Amino acid sequence: MNQTDPLMRRPAFHFTPQRNWMNDPNGLVYDRGLWHLYYQYNPEGPDWGNMSWGHATSTDLQHWTEHPVALPHREGEQIFSGSIVASASDVGPLLTAYYTSAYDDGHQAQSRANSTDGGFTWETDPSNPILDRNTSAFRDPKVIRYADAGGELRWIMLAVEADDRQVLFYSSTDLHTWEYQSAFGPLGVDGVVWECPDLVALPVDGDPDTIRWVLLISTNPVGEDADPEGSSMSYLIGDFDGTTFTADSSELTRLDHGRDFYAGVTFDNAPAGEKVMMAWMSNWSYAREIPSAPWRGAMSLPRRLSLRTIGGSPRLIQQPPKFIQEQLLAADPAARMSLAQPIHMTLSGHSLMELQWDPNTTGQLRLTLQGDAESEVVIEHSPATGALRVTRQGAAVQAVHAAFPSTSTVALDVLAPVRLLLSLDGPLLELFINDGEATAANLVLLGSGPVTARFAAELPGHVSVLLQDVRESETPARPSLPGRSPVRL
Ligand code: FRU
């Protein structure tokens, strides 16, 4: 199908490919003023297959430019997910991509490609695959930097044995030779595969002397009675000594409470050491049934990661990118409204909304979003339970797939004030709750026109609302000076 589907208006401040199928973000790297996003892509059609790495770049994480396919599939081999690192070599700045070669004979192994022109053209390594266990679900290499106590730098590669629910760790000093270090897992529920791991070092409460390591894992239910909730991301906080990851607890913590946040990984080499994560906003249980328009698949907003102590232990905090904050700051302060009774507002559908309320004075609060499609989104907060629920429902939602109608629940502190940042960009709804303490990303089908937001509170307490329709701004030019130079290894 090549027409625009009225249910799938194209997002304005998220990346979608011009056409065809997209899933996981791959090879996220910042290099000399450009954020590079590669992604699982079928250059030939709207369904999963012919997997290749598509490519887009941005100077500000808001506006994206799509480029020709970077790593095309070839005879007998698809190019599955992986990562890129920026380094310096004798020939100048170097980008090295690690990806999974998924061979037609069913075996999966890790391969490598180099780019010396800033990520636009790639040469695959003649000795590929460079890491092969002769197994069928060894995939998704993510290479990170590690400095030991003496300041010595090394590269660490994580890759999953997906069916075994294990992350394997390898180490290298030259990006060529990889030595096996250890395995982490299995743990958590079975009946899932582990995919797209990442390991992120973050200071606790901004203190550079208290670094903890966060292992990110995407899990996807498989088998006959696969959980209809489908794909989701989780994390574990722990320590990493360059060889072994040790988790504080054996319980996976849900990373995002919506249905559509999967395969999230972070950018290598981001300025100021920031950890910025992007994910695919879909779910394997129905991704293939989402109307194509003629694109199928969108990336989430990039999220800035940190750790904050809450109730005595560190929690992963996910905040929206700076341009979102800037858009809200640019909103006319007079536009901040205080509502004490049911009210309607009209949104363009490419909008941000900041809401604050005290459940002690509002009681139950409900916000309903409705456009010109036969469906609605209901966001409801219950003071008695602290539950914030996001429900997508209606005929258009049911028509997609049996698993598509859904309610996602975020558990908040009972009776505590709530601060909610809502980002709606066409079919992409992302909630950031209490300054990033919890998030929920969901695909929604609100149609192609404006969206009505209806508020209703149980009691006459006030709700503060700031609405900002995201304006199209000029794409900022790429800085003429090279950005932070890559670490030389
Ligand atoms: C995750 C995933 C990866 C794999 C890729 C294939 O969504 O299944 O494990 O590399 O997608 O497209």
The residue behind tokens 């299995």 is 186
Bridge partner residues of 265 (DSSP): 278
CB 297 within 8 A of CB 16: yes
Q: Is the CB of 195 within 6 Å of ligand 1?
A: yes
pTM (2 d.p.)? 0.95
Q: Is the CB of 161 within 6 Å of ligand 1?
A: no
Q: Tell me the CA–centroid distance for residue 331 and ligand 1, in Å.
A: 39
Question: Would you state the structure tokens that stand for residue 181, as one six-digit string?
Answer: 């270090």
What is the homologous superfamily of the domain 322-469 according to CATH?
Exo-inulinase; domain 1 (2.60.120.560)
Residue type, 76: G
CA-proximal residue: ligand 1, atom 8 (nearest): 195
Q: Tell me the CA–centroid distance for residue 253 and ligand 1, in Å.
A: 21
Q: Which atom of ligand 1 is nearest to the CA of 100?
A: 10
Annotated catalytic residues are: 24
96-138 pLDDT per residue, tens: 999 999 999 999 999 999 999 999 999 999 999 999 999 999 9
Q: Which atom of ligand 1 is nearest to the CA of 193?
A: 9
CB 1 within 8 A of CB 294: yes
Q: Is the CB of 40 within 6 Å of ligand 1?
A: yes
CB 368 within 8 A of CB 453: yes
Q: Tell me the CA–centroid distance for residue 476 and ligand 1, in Å.
A: 32
| CB count in 10 Å sphere of residue 314 | 19
Q: Tell me the CA–centroid distance for residue 71 and ligand 1, in Å.
A: 15
Per-residue pLDDT of the chain (489 residues; tens, 9 = 90+): 445 787 889 999 999 999 999 999 999 999 999 999 999 999 999 999 999 999 999 999 999 999 999 999 999 999 999 999 999 988 899 999 999 999 999 999 999 999 999 999 999 999 999 999 999 999 999 999 999 888 899 999 999 999 999 999 999 999 999 999 999 999 999 999 999 999 999 999 999 999 999 999 999 999 888 888 999 999 999 999 999 999 999 999 999 999 999 999 999 999 999 999 999 999 999 999 999 889 999 999 999 999 999 999 999 999 999 999 999 998 877 777 787 766 889 999 999 999 999 999 999 999 999 999 999 999 999 999 999 999 999 999 999 999 999 999 999 999 899 999 999 999 999 999 999 999 999 999 999 999 999 999 999 888 999 999 987 655 555 544 333 344 333
HEC letters along the chain:
CCCCCCCCCCCCCCCCCCCEEEEEEEEEEEECCEEEEEEEECCCCCCCCCCEEEEEEECCCCCCEEEEEEECCECCEEEEEEEEEEEEECCEEEEEEEEEEEECCCCEEEEEEEECCCCCCCEECCCCCCEEEEECCEEEEEEEEEECCCCCEEEEEEEEEHHHCEEEEEEECCCCCCEEEEEECCCCCCCEEEEEEEEEEEEECCEEEEEEEEEEEEEEECCCCCCCCCCEEEEEEEEECCCCEEECCCCCEECCCCCCCEEEEECECCHHHCCEEEEECCCCCCHHHCCCCCEECCECCCEEEEEEEECCEEEEEEECCHHHHHHHHCCCHHHCEEECCCEEEEECCEEEEEEEECHHHHCCEEEEEECCCCCEEEEEECCCCCEEEEEEECHHHHHHCCCCCEEEEEECCCCCCEEEEEEEECCEEEEEECCCCEEEEEECCCCCCCEEEEEEECCCCCEEEEEEECCCCCCCCCCCCCCCCCCCC
169-190 pLDDT per residue, tens: 999 999 999 999 999 999 999 9
CB 157 within 8 A of CB 182: no
- On the 0-12 / 13-18 / 19+ scale of CB atoms within 10 A, 338 is exposed
Q: What is the pLDDT of residue 148?
A: 87
Q: Tell me the CA–centroid distance for residue 88 and ligand 1, in Å.
A: 29
Q: Which atom of ligand 1 is nearest to the CA of 48?
A: 12
314-330 pLDDT per residue, tens: 999 999 999 999 999 98
Q: Is the CB of 194 within 6 Å of ligand 1?
A: no
First vs last C-alpha separation in the chain: 48
Question: Which of 224, 212, 274, 196 minimizes the C-alpha distance to 249?
Answer: 212
